[in-house]
């Protein structure tokens, strides 16, 4: 683990520019952000302001075009493709708006997926998958295919997949966006629960109902952090 004085996530002056056919989109400009271990932050902002881009960079799915990113005290800028894949596998768990389960794999296999790309033994894998499924209350559906589940159930499976590898941080991009309010509530409860057990969580959401779960809200506008709201304020807002 990194030194206790340093944040788990540290973005320094991060920029992201997409260049497509002469059009340059500044998705992120001069973003500075620190997330402590065990912290729960919520990222908010209007559509197109760069929330997903920020999350992708945090999850090493994408690289910034400028600035530095320290994860657990180490710069990730110079990592090779293989090293980045390794970090994604060991340290990051993703939850997407559209669940992104593999339709040809069973619930169990979907959850096991990150473990199969690590060096976990088969016996331990099975145990961890079952634990994760139990935690989201989906153990009884282990043999089902995603298409046989409701949206809320799918997202719970996705959450199980995200935590099965016991990652350092959990990234969720509008996890309730495709769910009705009851199911959305369940998923957010789940994240809160994980947070209470010590998980570091970054959630993109613009639903103010769920903002209360977070320690801190990071407000993005047009690729910039315009406001960081601490927990006390959030409660006032709600």
152 touching ligand ADP, by CB under 6 A? no
Which one of residues 16, 27, 52, 120 is an interface residue with Mg ion (CB under 5 A)? 52
C-alpha 199: how far from chain center: 11
- Name which of other proteins, Mg ion, ligand ADP, none residue 139 binds, using a CB cut-off of 5 to 8 Å depending on partner kind: none
- Name which of Mg ion, ligand ADP, other proteins, none residue 90 binds, using a CB cut-off of 5 to 8 Å depending on partner kind: other proteins
> What x-and-dash track marks residues 159-188 binding other proteins by CB under 8 A?
--x---x-----------------------
Q: Which of residues 64-83 bind ligand ADP (CB under 6 A)?
A: none
Find tokens 């540290």 and name the residue. 10
- By beta carbon distance, the residue nearest Mg ion is 52
- Is the separation of the CB atoms in 152 and 179 below 8 Å? yes
By beta-carbon proximity to other proteins, the closer residue of 138 and 211 is 138
Which one of residues 8, 14, 49, 157 is an interface residue with ligand ADP (CB under 6 A)? 49
Q: In residues, how long is the chain?
A: 238
**What angle, rounded to 10 degrees, do the helices at 151-164 and 122-135 form?**
140
Residue 218 Cα distances to 52, 105, 165, 168, angstroms: 13, 36, 27, 20
- Name which of Mg ion, other proteins, ligand ADP, none residue 47 binds, using a CB cut-off of 5 to 8 Å depending on partner kind: ligand ADP
- Is the separation of the CB atoms in 40 and 210 below 8 Å? no
Residues sharing a CB contact under 8 Å with residue 231, sequence separation 6 or more, in sequence order: 214, 215, 216
Residues sharing a CB contact under 8 Å with residue 4, sequence separation 6 or more, in sequence order: none
Per CB under 5 A, residues contacting Mg ion are 52
Per CB under 6 A, residues contacting ligand ADP are 18, 20, 25, 27, 45, 47-53
């Amino acid at each position: 683990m990194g030194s206790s004085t340093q944040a788990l996530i540290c973005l320094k002056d991060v920029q992201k520019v997409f260049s497509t056919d002469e059009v340059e989109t500044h998705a992120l400009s001069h973003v500075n952000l620190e997330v402590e271990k065990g912290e729960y932050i919520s990222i908010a902002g209007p559509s197109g302001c760069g929330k997903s881009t920020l999350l992708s960079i945090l999850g090493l799915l994408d690289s910034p075009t400028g600035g530095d990113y320290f994860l657990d005290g180490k710069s990730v800028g110079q990592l090779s493709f293989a090293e980045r894949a390794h970090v994604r596998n060991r340290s990051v768990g993703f939850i997407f708006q559209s669940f992104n389960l593999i339709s040809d794999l069973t619930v169990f296999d979907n959850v096991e997926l990150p473990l199969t790309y690590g060096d976990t033994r088969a016996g331990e894998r099975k145990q961890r998958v079952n634990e994760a499924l139990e935690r989201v209350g989906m153990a009884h559906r282990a043999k089902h295919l995603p298409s046989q589940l409701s949206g809320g159930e799918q997202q719970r499976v996705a959450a199980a997949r995200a935590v099965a590898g016991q990652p350092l941080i959990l990234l969720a991009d509008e996890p309730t966006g495709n769910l009705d309010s009851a199911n959305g509530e369940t998923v957010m409860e789940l994240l809160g629960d994980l947070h209470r057990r010590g998980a570091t969580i970054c959630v993109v959401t613009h639903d103010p109902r769920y903002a209360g779960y977070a320690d801190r809200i990071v407000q993005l506008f047009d690729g910039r952090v315009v406001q960081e709201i601490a927990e006390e304020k959030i409660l006032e807002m709600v």
